[in-house]
Amino acid sequence: MDKNKTEKMIEEIRKAYPERKKDARKYDYGLVIVIGGSKIYTGSPVLSAMAALRSGADLSHIIAPSRVADTAASFSPDLITFPLKGDHLLPEHLPDLLALTRGGEDVSRGRMAVVLGGGIGREEETKKTVREYVKEVSVPVVVDADAVYAFEKEESLVHDRFLGEKKVLLTPHMYEFYVLTGRNVKNFSKEERGFAVKSAAKEIGATILLKGEVDHISDGENSEENEVGVPELTVGGTGDVLAGIAGSLLARGHSPLQAGKVAVAVNTLAGKLAAEEKGESLLATDVIEKICQVINKGNQNSL
């Protein structure tokens, strides 16, 4: 891994994590609500929520179908879960989703963000619920994984400046970017992909983090990229980890562009440390456990 690029990422992380105030109170460093999961995909919300906590969020809540919520509750006592009836997200859940989000916003004094989409499924009723939810909330939202499909190019909402230019960070991989924008960038050069992401972000009115060998992040005006790849991060669940880190940074008050940039740095360096130890046996949970080494200043010289 290039030493200069690594040092640059470490410096960005240091800026994002200044020393905590001595008179800090609960929620000063954020509440992250994770909405996701379905009957089959129970792990995604857990990975995002645990990554958010390891990234410094004071609390992380999971709102999910009952099987997912129960699985999460049994996984760790650090997680607070809110079960919903049924196997996947439905329009009838919208009042509860909004009430829990607004309640979280009140108790956290506005220091909160939502991570939406991991394992949520692509049923039409689920996509409709996702669109209505994002339309109604005022807090920053990471739109990840299956939730991206709710805003495919054919949906008129995408062309409505992303529901009023909310603080939204979209985190598609290459195919999800195609679903979102109609642009197939698979054979594009690095420069062409960067331009495509910037153009799409400006058109849509949201920040986009295109995941890949080179990560591209843009809010339509400013752009960032990360060329430090970790091949082992192809393993399932590492995207959920990235989304959780980004949610934690949004909850701290960072802009979607900055949250995306720093989240990529943390995820990459944590992945590097985990890969050095686990190699081909790396799991997404291994990456989560290395986040502490990355963000805590005393350990950064080992990277």
Instruction: Identify the pLDDT of residue 298.
Output: 42
Collapsed DSSP state (helix, strand, coil) of residue 201: helix
Kindly report the backbone phi and psi dihedral angles of residue 82, in degrees, each rounded to the nearest multiple of 5, phi listed first.
Answer: -130, 105
Tally the residues of the chain. 303
- pLDDT above 70 covers what percent of the chain? 93
* CA dist., res. 176 & res. 149, Å (int): 7
* CA dist., res. 119 & res. 69, Å (int): 13
Question: What pLDDT band is residue 154 in, cutting at 50, 70 and 90?
Answer: low
Residues 100/106, Cβ–Cβ less than 8 Å = no
* CA dist., res. 44 & res. 32, Å (int): 15
Nearest CA-CA partner of 269 in 296, 237, 236? 296
* CA dist., res. 119 & res. 36, Å (int): 6
Average pLDDT over all residues of the chain: 92
Is the pLDDT score of 150 beyond 90?
yes
All structural domains of the chain = 25-260 (3.40.1190.20)
Place of tokens 């995002």: 48
Mean pLDDT of 172-182: 95
Residues 216/192, Cβ–Cβ less than 8 Å = no
| HSE-up of residue 86 (Cα within 13 Å, Cβ side) | 15
Residues 277/256, Cβ–Cβ less than 8 Å = no
Greater pLDDT, 277 or 303: 277
Buried/exposed code over 151-166 (b: 16+ C-beta within 10 A; e: otherwise): bbeeeebbeeebbeeb
Greater pLDDT, 228 or 291: 291
Question: What pLDDT band is residue 152 in, cutting at 50, 70 and 90?
Answer: confident
Burial class (CB in 10 A: 0-12, 13-18, 19+), 82: middle
Mean pLDDT of 141-170: 77
Instruction: Identify the pLDDT of residue 5.
Output: 83
Greater pLDDT, 156 or 144: 144
Collapsed DSSP state (helix, strand, coil) of residue 175: helix
Q: Tell me which H or E stretch contains 33.
A: strand 31-35
Question: What pLDDT band is residue 204 in, cutting at 50, 70 and 90?
Answer: confident
Tens-digit pLDDT profile for residues 22-47: 999 999 999 999 999 999 999 999 99
Mean pLDDT of 196-212: 94
Six-digit token string for 137: 């909330």
The structure's pTM equals 0.95
Least confident of 106-115, 228-237, 247-256: 228-237
Buried/exposed code over 178-187 (b: 16+ C-beta within 10 A; e: otherwise): bebbebebee
Tens-digit pLDDT profile for residues 12-26: 999 999 999 999 999
Collapsed DSSP state (helix, strand, coil) of residue 60: strand
Collapsed DSSP state (helix, strand, coil) of residue 83: strand
Instruction: Identify the pLDDT of residue 164.
Output: 56
User: For residue 282, how far is the Cα from the chain centroid?
Assistant: 20
How many C-beta atoms surround the C-beta of residue 173 within 10 A? 14
Mean pLDDT of 136-159: 83
Instruction: Identify the pLDDT of residue 156.
Output: 47
